[in-house]
Structure 1
Amino acid sequence: MDAFFASVEQRDFPELRGKPVAVGGAGPRGVVAAASYEARAYGVHSAMPGSIARRKCPHLIFAKSRFEVYEKVSRQIRAIFLRYTDLVEPLSLDEAYLDVTENHFGIASATQIAKEIKQRILEETGLTASAGVSYNKFLAKVASALQKPNGLTVVRPEKAEALIETLPIEKFYGIGSVTAGKMHTLGIHTGLDLKQRSLSELSRHFGKSGLYYYEIARANDDRQVNPNRIRKSVGAERTFAEDLTTAEEMDERLKLLAEEIAEYLAAKNNAGRTVTIKIKYADFTMNTRSKTFLSGIQSADLLWQIAKELLRAPFVPQLPVRLLGISVSNLLSEEEARFGHQLTLPF
């Protein structure tokens, strides 16, 4: 989807259309969750502190996040995908892989299917989407971002390697800003630069990820579209308008986070065995504390108690705290969460 959260706000509130909009907090501690294309023209982007976004675009309009609305629209879009194929692998609320090799309408052209899906999304939600069409997941993902907004890019097999060779390394899916910076220090700026490095060299510098980088530089990706992809973790975090300095203040915020996560887990009939809290201090240093259990955690009260224990292990933060977060990982399958799971006894 194109600037999904911001586009939903512009759709629902006509006075925002054609104006620079940021979804997120407008306060000094706020963070941009999404930016409209009008805002992006000023250099505003997601994960940017609201104060910096405001400096870049003084007339920026901040809209409060409405995740329940975004989730509803996401379900509408997912339903459109499923009309064409059962092989839908969601990446997030606004993005998914579709394998349309075999599809419900027997349409021979993946490009035609992409056009139809884009049109259905526009007609039924009033929003635009961009699509990438190719013969593997990596190329389709890269292609989907090349002609935003409202784009459709097709990468055919005979054109794939030439496209990858000219692509800036920052445009590669799976290469974040930190890794891109490391690659720059090694003289890797484009796909061609990456392709010229040996597997042993990439593995030496990037460990297990070296093989992935070696393959995608050659437009190779044999991953299948997995409609049963299991979410690995559930989390929530908050940045506070004023730093927290007492355990009581931190406990109160952790309780709200625990309730939010527990509500999601209950709705999905899920539970997780590992609980992690994230603490970011006023000086922007950060640490995490985790604990893993034999059985799944789902209730808000238990999650809160564990979070409070982790907050005090080994001691309550001594510096003012600007952000707290809780995440639950090692998620169990729905069946495991409902019926429990077999324990291994040390015989």
Structure 2
Amino acid sequence: MESSSSTCNYGDNEHPRSIIHIDIDCFYAQVEMLRNPELRTVPLGIQQKNIIVTSNYEARNYGVQKCMLVSDALKTCPNLKLVNGEDLHDYRAASNKIFELLQTWKCPVEKLGMDENFIDVTKLVEEKLKCVHIESVTHSGHIYNESGIECLCGCHTRLKVASQLANEIRQKIYDELGFTTCAGIAHNKLLAKLVCPLHKPNNQTTICPEHATEFMSTLQSVRFIPSIGLKTTETLISHKIISVTDLQQVPLDILKKHFSSDMAVRLKNLSLGEDNTPVKQTGKPQSIGLEDSFKTVSVKSEVEDKFCALLQRLLILVREDGRIPVSLRVTLRKKDAKRLSSHRESRQCQISPSIFIITNGSLTVTNVGQQKLMTIIMRLFNKLIDLSKPFHLTLVGLAFTKFQERMTGRSSIVNYLMNDISVQSVLNLQNDCDTSASSMDYSAASPSSSTTTDLSDAEVEPSPKKPKKVTWIAKRRCLSKEEVASPSKLKVGELRLNSKELEKVSELRLNSRDRSLTPRASPAKDNLSDASDTMKDIAEGGNCDDCPSYVDKEVFNALPDEMQQELKVMWKNPTSSGMTRSSPRTMNKAKPNTLLKYFVPHK
């Protein structure tokens, strides 16, 4: 029994985190049993090619094991019911439902394959502890080597609460989706994953930090430690480091002779059950791919058929994902008699997003688009294989590796760019609030950047490559009083002056010419006087009583003070703004850099 009076401080390390690892029992088999309840009571094996990838517990009782040959499985269990599991669509859909359900706890959730998930419930545990009495908290499920010594950091109590949360999560998955699960609860991801399967199926196990080293020493091979791959294992075995106990006992200096300093420390920490890697919230996958393995294929036409079949299945996954692929990768596994194991080679290239068409909000590819993709695939294949020589392939793979999000409506890139343009045609700042805001029209000069879209969605699919020349033409948008609270929110009207505006510009020019013909004693002095008067008006309140009739006062008052000042100087003294017609003598002289030159084209 645990004693709250006994305490112990395990060094300077604290164990603040509470991690839950959820693993779905015989995942593929459960998906098939939920789809066909008759399979629940019979030995069931999920077959891919000639291999049993998983089986239910009825079949395991007969001795059917994972990765067993179908022929051997049938000898072991003659009444084994086989289901083809090469199409992963239903398994992916079930995995996504579980992931979405786990996210309802508002904690970071990290997917590990289709049937495993990490959940960091640290903050949720802290909130729970504020509402309960510590003495009343008990463990849920099994405990690895229950200890009577309490850690001073309080991790034992936190792990008790986490075990209760794990039980709630597992129960909800079963109630809503029908899947039984097992769980591991620990203060880090490594221990949570490794302790999870100790009491399969449909159960859970908690391990406390003080038992980490002891538990890790029970692993017979260093290969059983997650994140230690095949090559690292081979290097360790070559230096007679076979079991986890060997890794625990080997001096760190010896490891640093064969690995980098960081890697050596990492290996040593893992062997002791120490792991500080965070639970990273899983987003959409960085790549979507499929593979097809076989004994051997040595004919180009057969390879093309297999790529075509993979492409059809891959396009379904892309449609469900919703993002537009912009890169394609082809993978081949060649059979090489000189090497003990086969090796993979890959090539990838950019693809045009215009291949993918959005119809009624769904991403589709026409027959022509599929032919383009197959042409790209076979071109990559030709780069990987020298067709003048015999070849033998045991696997082909196809994957979309880069994506761009589909932005629609007010979140589209076009809307973002148009809203953020701060330059306004001052002569066109009309607040036509009686008209409804219209959608923006755009035209792209680059054919590769055009994408067929559903007009009702107003979706814009920017090309991954910048077109050399893109002309954006925006329709006039309505400005409400709230929208003109600051100049940065002023919507752009047409950047080109229309005919009415040109008439106003002509009128300004004529007025300025008439004024220039009027004799003055000292024009420079008058200009200075007008400018000082304008600055005085701005300082006194920035009113627009002397603004031209075609200028909206409300919009004018929303402009910065410097812009208001310059405009007033221009309106009071047009000759100072450089609006008079240029004479041959002044044609080559540098023109003043005034605000008006950005709005009124000089002829």
**Shorter-chain TM-score range:** 0.7 to 0.9
Q: Distance in 2 between matches of 1:201 and 1:319?
A: 43
Q: Distance in 2 between matches of 1:49 and 1:338?
A: 47
1:311 and 2:331 aligned: no
Q: Is the 8 A contact 2:330 2:396 kept in 1?
A: no
Q: After superposition, what is the alpha-carbon deviation per residue over 1:56-95, rounded to whole angstroms, capped at 9, x for unaligned?
A: 4443321122633323332332233122233111112211
1:32 and 2:52 aligned: yes
Kindly indicate whether structure 1 or structure 2 has the higher relative contact order, using CA contacts under 8 Å at least 6 residues apart: 1
2:244 is matched with 191
Q: Distance in 2 between matches of 1:167 and 1:324?
A: 35
Q: Distance in 2 between matches of 1:190 and 1:246?
A: 45
Counterpart pick for 1:173 among 219, 226, 229: 226
CA offset at residue 286 of structure 1? 3.7
Counterpart pick for 2:303 among 216, 237, 250: 250
Q: Is the 8 A contact 2:336 2:342 kept in 1?
A: no
Counterpart pick for 1:8 among 26, 31, 38: 31
In the TM superposition, structure 1's runs of 4+ consecutive aligned residues that sit over 6 Å from their partners are 282-285, 295-298
Q: Is the 8 A contact 1:164 1:191 kept in 2?
A: yes
Q: Comparing 7-16 with 217-226, which one deviates more in the overlay?
A: 7-16
Q: Is the 8 A contact 2:184 2:205 kept in 1?
A: yes
Q: Is the 8 A contact 2:326 2:350 kept in 1?
A: no
Structure 2 counterpart of 1:31, one-letter code: I
Counterpart pick for 1:264 among 303, 314, 317: 317
Q: Distance in 1 between matches of 2:207 and 2:463?
A: 46
Q: After superposition, what is the alpha-carbon deviation per residue over 1:248-283, rounded to whole angstroms, capped at 9, x for unaligned?
A: 222121112123223323432053646132235598
Q: Distance in 2 between matches of 1:40 and 1:302?
A: 47
Q: Comparing 186-195 with 216-225, which one deviates more in the overlay?
A: 186-195
2:484 is matched with none
Structure 1 counterpart of 2:378, one-letter code: K
Summarize the alignment of residues 96-107 of structure 1 with structure 2, pairs less than 5 Å apart: 96-103=117-124, 106-107=127-128
CA offset at residue 200 of structure 1? 4.5
1:19 and 2:42 aligned: yes
CA offset at residue 285 of structure 1? 6.3
Q: Comparing 280-289 with 224-233, which one deviates more in the overlay?
A: 280-289
Q: Can you give the 5+ residue segments of structure 2 that lack an aligned partner in the other structure?
A: 1-23, 130-160, 357-369, 408-459, 467-603
Q: Is the 8 A contact 1:273 1:292 kept in 2?
A: yes
Q: Is the 8 A contact 2:333 2:343 kept in 1?
A: yes
CA offset at residue 3 of structure 1? 0.6
Q: Distance in 1 between matches of 2:192 and 2:461?
A: 37
1:79 is matched with 100
Q: Distance in 2 between matches of 1:285 and 1:305?
A: 30
Q: After superposition, what is the alpha-carbon deviation per residue over 1:191-249, rounded to whole angstroms, capped at 9, x for unaligned?
A: 32211123443355466754432221122211111114563433212245x85443222
| Distance of aligned partners of 1:238 and 1:342 in 2 relative to their CA distance in 1, 3 Å threshold | closer
1:118 is matched with 170
Q: Is the 8 A contact 1:88 1:97 kept in 2?
A: yes
1:293 is matched with 349
Q: Is the 8 A contact 2:163 2:206 kept in 1?
A: yes
| Distance of aligned partners of 1:197 and 1:341 in 2 relative to their CA distance in 1, 3 Å threshold | farther
1:150 is matched with 202
CA offset at residue 16 of structure 1? 2.4
CA offset at residue 150 of structure 1? 1.3
Larger Rg: 2
Structure 1 counterpart of 2:107, one-letter code: D
Q: Distance in 2 between matches of 1:186 and 1:215?
A: 19
2:211 is matched with 159
Q: Distance in 2 between matches of 1:204 and 1:257?
A: 45
Q: Comparing 69-78 with 106-115, which one deviates more in the overlay?
A: 69-78
| Distance of aligned partners of 1:20 and 1:74 in 2 relative to their CA distance in 1, 3 Å threshold | same
Q: Distance in 1 between matches of 2:253 and 2:259?
A: 10
Q: Distance in 1 between matches of 2:386 and 2:65?
A: 36
2:503 is matched with none
Q: Secondary structure at 1:53's aligned position in 2?
A: helix
Q: Secondary structure at 1:38's aligned position in 2?
A: helix
Q: Comparing 260-269 with 286-295, which one deviates more in the overlay?
A: 286-295
Q: Distance in 2 between matches of 1:96 and 1:129?
A: 11
CA offset at residue 334 of structure 1? 3.6
| Distance of aligned partners of 1:187 and 1:147 in 2 relative to their CA distance in 1, 3 Å threshold | farther
Q: Is the 8 A contact 2:334 2:343 kept in 1?
A: yes
1:235 is matched with 289
Q: Secondary structure at 1:145's aligned position in 2?
A: helix
Structure 2 counterpart of 1:79, one-letter code: E
1:220 is matched with 274
Q: Secondary structure at 1:102's aligned position in 2?
A: helix
Q: Distance in 2 between matches of 1:30 and 1:246?
A: 22
| Distance of aligned partners of 1:307 and 1:293 in 2 relative to their CA distance in 1, 3 Å threshold | closer
CA offset at residue 295 of structure 1? 6.2
| Distance of aligned partners of 1:325 and 1:15 in 2 relative to their CA distance in 1, 3 Å threshold | same
Q: Secondary structure at 2:94's aligned position in 1?
A: helix
User: Over the residues paired in the alignment, what is the CA RMSD in angstroms?
Assistant: 3.5
Q: Distance in 2 between matches of 1:230 and 1:205?
A: 37
CA offset at residue 115 of structure 1? 0.6
Q: Can you give the 5+ residue segments of structure 1 that lack an aligned partner in the other structure?
A: none
Q: Is the 8 A contact 1:274 1:290 kept in 2?
A: no
Structure 1 counterpart of 2:47, one-letter code: G
Q: Secondary structure at 1:213's aligned position in 2?
A: helix
Q: Distance in 1 between matches of 2:216 and 2:352?
A: 43
Q: Is the 8 A contact 1:282 1:322 kept in 2?
A: no
Structure 2 counterpart of 1:13, one-letter code: N
Q: After superposition, what is the alpha-carbon deviation per residue over 1:294-337, rounded to whole angstroms, capped at 9, x for unaligned?
A: 567786544422321233234237245454322344x3464799
Q: Comparing 315-324 with 129-138, which one deviates more in the overlay?
A: 315-324
* Number of residue equivalences: 338
1:63 and 2:135 aligned: no
| Distance of aligned partners of 1:320 and 1:290 in 2 relative to their CA distance in 1, 3 Å threshold | closer
Q: Comparing 57-66 with 297-306, which one deviates more in the overlay?
A: 297-306
| Distance of aligned partners of 1:334 and 1:216 in 2 relative to their CA distance in 1, 3 Å threshold | farther
Q: Distance in 1 between matches of 2:211 and 2:287?
A: 37
